[in-house]
Amino acid sequence: MTGGLVPRRSVLYMPASNERALEKARTLPADALILDLEDAVAPDAKDAARENACAAVRSGAYGDREVAIRVNAVGTPWHAADLAAAAAAGPHAVVVPKVGSADQVRALVAALEAGGAPERTRLWAMVETPQAVLDVRDVAAASPRLAALVLGTNDLVKELYAAHVPGRAPLLTALSLAVLGARAAGVAVLDGVYNDVKDLEGFEAECRQGRDLGFDGKTLIHPGQVEVANRVFAPDEAAVDDARELIAAFEEASAQGRGVVTHRGRMVENLHVESARRTLAMAEAVAARG
């Protein structure tokens, strides 16, 4: 039993115009894929990319992993055609960049439904503008079809006139607000990408930071980042052992009528048991992925 948890430790973007990348993704152990029609695709290649993405979704060649299509933003010349094609192809999610408000989320959901999107097709809204960060709670709660927030940290840095620095101090408020908004609405939240595909040490540090802030996983841009994200965002053996022992210690104490106990020197109450059960459920969901 995995408690219905869906691992989204590693969510790999690829340009839908890059047929080699679409092919290679079939064999990569990423938890989910985002076939991009937006920033990674040149204007001349948009139509072909849209066809490739929809064909890839329909092919069923990516196993039981979530496959999403990222459409171009509202207001661009490609948005309407992207959304209509994606709705008809029926991916697990349609990722919409630069979402600006809860009203826009509702309009996007209405357009997906009008386009005949199947029930399984969720909306993932990108949080990558100052307005979206400031309205994140309303955006996250705008529709039951909205299943995840996805941080766009490149656009955020650009919009804030900020800088990409180790430790991401300029982004911490936005990152935490996004996690708060997602948790308040009960939706998933994915951290932004790490641009230096050769710097795995810096990437791992950023994965750890994202995990500790509360993100479910990280969006990625290169196959070389998948293993690290999968490892960092999964409970390790020590965490699983600790969770099992904590639950056992609490159950033993409960049987004796106590509501609080110490385990490895730390106070344990029922809320810690709930966290430990979530750790075990996530470990099971990851193991089930194979």
Ligand X SMILES: CC(C)(COP(=O)(O)OP(=O)(O)OC[C@H]1O[C@@H](n2cnc3c(N)ncnc32)[C@H](O)[C@@H]1OP(=O)(O)O)[C@@H](O)C(=O)NCCC(=O)NCCSC(=O)C[C@H](O)C(=O)O
Task: Indicate the annotated binding residues.
Answer: 70, 128, 155
Q: Choose from ligand X, Mg ion, none: what does 99 bind? Cβ within 5-8 Å by kind.
A: none
* Binding residue for Mg ion, selected from 36, 66, 135, 155, defined by CB under 5 A: 155
Cβ atoms of 54 and 69 within 8 Å: the answer is: yes
As a whole number of Å, the CA-based R_g of the chain is 20
Beta-carbon-side half-sphere exposure of residue 225 (alpha carbons within 13 Å): 27
At closest approach, how far in Å is the CB of 237 from ligand X? Answer: 29
Q: What is the Cα–Cα distance from 56 to 59, expressed in whole angstroms?
A: 5
Long-range pairs of 23-29 with CB within 8 A, sequence gap ≥ 24? 24/223, 25/62, 26/61, 26/62, 28/223, 28/226, 29/226, 29/227, 29/230
Binding site for ligand X (CB under 6 A): 12-15, 20-21, 24-25, 36, 39-40, 97, 128, 152-155, 192-193, 197, 221-223
The one-letter amino acid at 233:
F
Q: How far is the CB of 65 from ligand X (least distance, A)?
A: 13
Tell me the binding residues for Mg(2+): 128, 155
Q: Supply angle C-alpha 194, 67, 120, rounded to 5.
A: 130
Give min distance, CB of 15 to ligand X, in A. 5
Of positions 152, 181, 217, 223, contacts Mg ion by CB under 5 A: 152
What does the per-residue mask of binding to Mg ion show for 38-57, with x meaning CB under 5 A?
--------------------
In angstroms, rounded to a whole number, what is the distance separating the alpha carbons of residues 140 and 231? 27
16 contacts 50 by C-beta, under 8 angstroms:
yes
Partner whose binding site includes residue 221, from Mg ion, ligand X, none (CB under 5 to 8 Å by kind): ligand X
**Which of the 8 DSSP states describes residue 73?**
P
Nearer to ligand X, 45 or 239 (CB): 45
Q: How far is the CB of 49 from ligand X (least distance, A)?
A: 11
- Residue closer to ligand X (CB basis): 196 or 241: 196
Q: Name the segment binding Mg ion (CB under 5 A); options: 20-28, 63-71, 112-120, 153-161.
A: 153-161
Indicate the helix (H) or strand (E) that contains 288.
helix 270-289
140 or 246, CB closer to ligand X? 140
Supply the minimum distance, in Å, between the C-beta of residue 158 and ligand X: 8
**Interface with Mg ion (CB under 5 A):** 128, 152, 155
